[in-house]
């Protein structure tokens, strides 16, 4: 059946004006965007979102990066959506992505292993957690993208 996953355009992707191009890639790949929002993460929110990385050496840099500007968060839906979105964004290290996955989104707009432009849930359980984290599992009064 269809799966939902959490996708996010990180601050470098939003400030680099990649949002429209990434949304075009998303639609061309057959995803529906069932919810979307432009928001900004504060330190507490970014730290909680990346809690599993809290013991890593890069954690404080990651939090600084993720709070450096607006992010564009989306709930995507498609058959096999979790792994298909991970495939579309490419490897974590954008430098490697440019060589091994030149058509990936991270090759398009990422810079290195930190500034990799986009996020994707790594499993269906992560997707469920992350969609709830951003309260994007509830139908609000907003008009969402429904294609």
Indicate which residues carry an active-site annotation. Answer: 119
106 binds ligand CMP (CB under 6 A): no
Pick between residue 50 and residue 144 the one whose CB is nearest to ligand CMP.
Answer: 50
Among 120, 105, 110, residue whose Cα is nearest residue 12: 110
| Binding piece for ligand CMP, criterion CB under 6 A, among 39-47, 53-61, 75-83, 124-132 | 53-61
* Total number of residues that touch ligand CMP (CB under 6 A): 9
Among 108, 106, 74, 109, residue whose Cα is nearest residue 92: 106
The minimum distance between CB 127 and ligand CMP, in angstroms, equals 13
116 binds ligand CMP (CB under 6 A): yes
Site string for ligand CMP, 22-41 (x = CB under 6 A): --------------------
Q: Is 58 annotated as a binding residue?
A: yes
92 binds ligand CMP (CB under 6 A): yes
58 binds ligand CMP (CB under 6 A): yes
Q: Is 24 annotated as a binding residue?
A: no
Would you tell me which residues interact with ligand CMP (CB under 6 A)?
A: 53, 58, 61-62, 92, 113-114, 116, 119
């Amino acid at each position: 059946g269809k799966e939902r996953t959490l996708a996010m355009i990180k601050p470098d992707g939003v400030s680099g004006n990649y949002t429209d191009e990434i949304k075009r890639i998303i639609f061309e790949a057959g995803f529906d965007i069932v919810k979307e929002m432009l928001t900004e993460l504060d330190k507490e929110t970014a730290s909680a979102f990346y809690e599993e990385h809290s013991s890593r050496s890069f954690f404080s840099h990651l939090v600084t990066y993720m709070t450096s500007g607006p992010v564009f968060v989306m709930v995507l839906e498609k058959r096999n959506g979790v792994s298909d979105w991970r495939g579309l964004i490419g490897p974590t290290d954008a430098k490697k992505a440019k060589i091994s996955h030149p058509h990936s989104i991270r090759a398009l707009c990422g810079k290195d292993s930190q500034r990799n432009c986009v996020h994707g849930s790594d499993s269906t359980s992560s997707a469920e957690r992350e969609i709830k984290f951003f309260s994007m599992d509830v139908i609000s009064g907003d008009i969402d993208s429904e294609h």
